[in-house]
Amino acid sequence: MSRLVVLAGPTAVGKGTVVRALRDMAPEAYLSVSATTRDPRPGEVDGVHYHFIDREDFQRRVDAGEFLEHATVHGQNWYGTLRGPVEEKLAEGEPVLLEIDLQGARQVKETMPDAHFVFLAPPSWDELVSRLVGRGTEGEEERERRLATARDEMAAVDEFDQVIVNDTVERAAAELLSVVRGTR
């Protein structure tokens, strides 16, 4: 079985951006497509960035045991990793990368302790706050909620096998790619 790499980190650290850069560098690096109940943002494509499904469908899949892990993120929307495609790729000898939140990473650690857990960290807390505010896609209340989540998430760094600092997207993506390829 090849390696499952789990990437987590605080809100707004830039997980999505780093993972997109990695996908551009190495299209063969299999990135699991999560399911979510949130609405697509402009430019997001169903089946590529997420499987956008409604709550009823999500719940049905939870009940059917289709998720490797699932969580309510920011107390709002549901997100989950579908077990089937991940197990298939690993069985084929392909590496798999999950980009999920901390709650999800903890669940994977319970069920697949041999996975490699990578924490994407900001260069500093101040930098994280300015990224969180700078993105400007959420309202005041939502921002406060995400900040509170991020504070808890930063405290979880010790639970991880490895830390990658997101100083520049290209460098962090290259480091992550070497982890996914098993060369680091």
Binding site for ligand 5GP (CB under 6 A): 11, 15, 34, 38, 69, 71, 73, 79-81, 99-101, 103-104
For ligand 5GP, the closer CB: 105 or 183: 105
The structure tokens listed for 89 are 């790729």
For ligand 5GP, the closer CB: 81 or 166: 81
State the Cα–Cα distance between residues 75 and 2, nearest whole angstrom.
33
Pairing of strands 96-99, 30-31: parallel
State the Cα–Cα distance between residues 19 and 22, nearest whole angstrom.
5
Q: Which residue is associated with the tokens 């929307």?
A: 77
CB of 155 to ligand 5GP, least distance (A): 16
CB of 50 to ligand 5GP, least distance (A): 7
CB of 44 to ligand 5GP, least distance (A): 8
Q: Which residue is nearest to ligand 5GP (CB)?
A: 104
State the Cα–Cα distance between residues 180 and 161, nearest whole angstrom.
13
State the Cα–Cα distance between residues 184 and 181, nearest whole angstrom.
8
For ligand 5GP, the closer CB: 46 or 183: 46
CB of 178 to ligand 5GP, least distance (A): 21
For ligand 5GP, the closer CB: 69 or 175: 69
φ/ψ (deg, to 5) at 14: 105, 25
Strand partners, 35: 51, 80
For ligand 5GP, the closer CB: 102 or 177: 102
Query: Who contacts 86 (Cβ-Cβ below 8 Å, separation ≥6)?
Result: 4, 32, 68, 96, 98
CB of 181 to ligand 5GP, least distance (A): 22
